[in-house]
Amino acid sequence: MRITVSGLPGSGTTSLARHLAEIRGYRLISAGEVFRQMARERGLDLREFGRIAETEPSIDREIDLRQREIAEREDDIIAEGRLSGWFVGNADLRIWLQAPLSCRVERIFSRDTIQDRETARLLTQEREACEARRYQDYYSIDIRDLSPYHLVLNSEKFAVEELSAIVETAIRVIEEKKRGEAR
């Protein structure tokens, strides 16, 4: 089973992907973690590294290529990243998490040690705009186009365990269909 989990910053993609990987015993491939690690390696914060990534397409392409190659080659994986649903062509289940900006900003504020909520809001909006431009410029992908996704879930309404229960139901249906096709 190959599953992708995507969504805007603060929507809960990493939490859901980690939870699913843990309960299913799947390998987690996280584009966001790779991006953060690359920023740390260069001694930059996410804002600075995002600006560099806007002018250096090789950064996004390296992250996306690595994730796609692993995800399409291996079974029993969760690929988590903004564009994972677009890039993992043989995914069995593509999930998009959404939540209102206010909810996502609160999560980012709590998680990323940002000085205040207004700064968190501005940084989040700047990051989203930066990423949207890059995805459009590099891949002609409009991040607002949710057509590749099988499930679109609101993470403000549901806790990670509840989201996981919904996803588990979808996985069971997919697995049953595969068993039926194999007969």
Rounded Cα distance, 96 and 178, in Å? 23
Q: Inform me whether the pLDDT recorded for 1 exceeds 90.
A: yes
**Using a CB cutoff of 8 Å and minimum separation of 24, what contacts does 126-130 make?**
126/47, 126/50, 127/9, 127/46, 127/47, 127/50, 128/8, 128/9, 130/50, 130/51, 130/53, 130/54
- Of 6-10, 11-15, 178-182, least confident by mean pLDDT is 178-182
CA distance linking residue 130 with residue 65, whole number of Å: 20
pLDDT 10s digits, 52-103: 887 888 888 888 887 888 888 889 999 999 999 999 989 999 999 999 999 9
The whole model's pTM is what? Answer: 0.86
> Residue 38: what pLDDT?
82
- When comparing pLDDT for 95 and 127, which is higher? 95
Which fold, 2-182? Rossmann fold (3.40.50)
The full length of the chain comes to 183
* Ranges assigned E (strand) in 31-142: 77-80, 93-98
Which comes out higher in pLDDT, residue 13 or 68? 13
pLDDT in tens, 23-48: 999 999 988 777 887 888 889 988 88
Indicate if the pLDDT at residue 177 is higher than 80.
yes
Question: What is the average pLDDT score of the chain?
Answer: 91
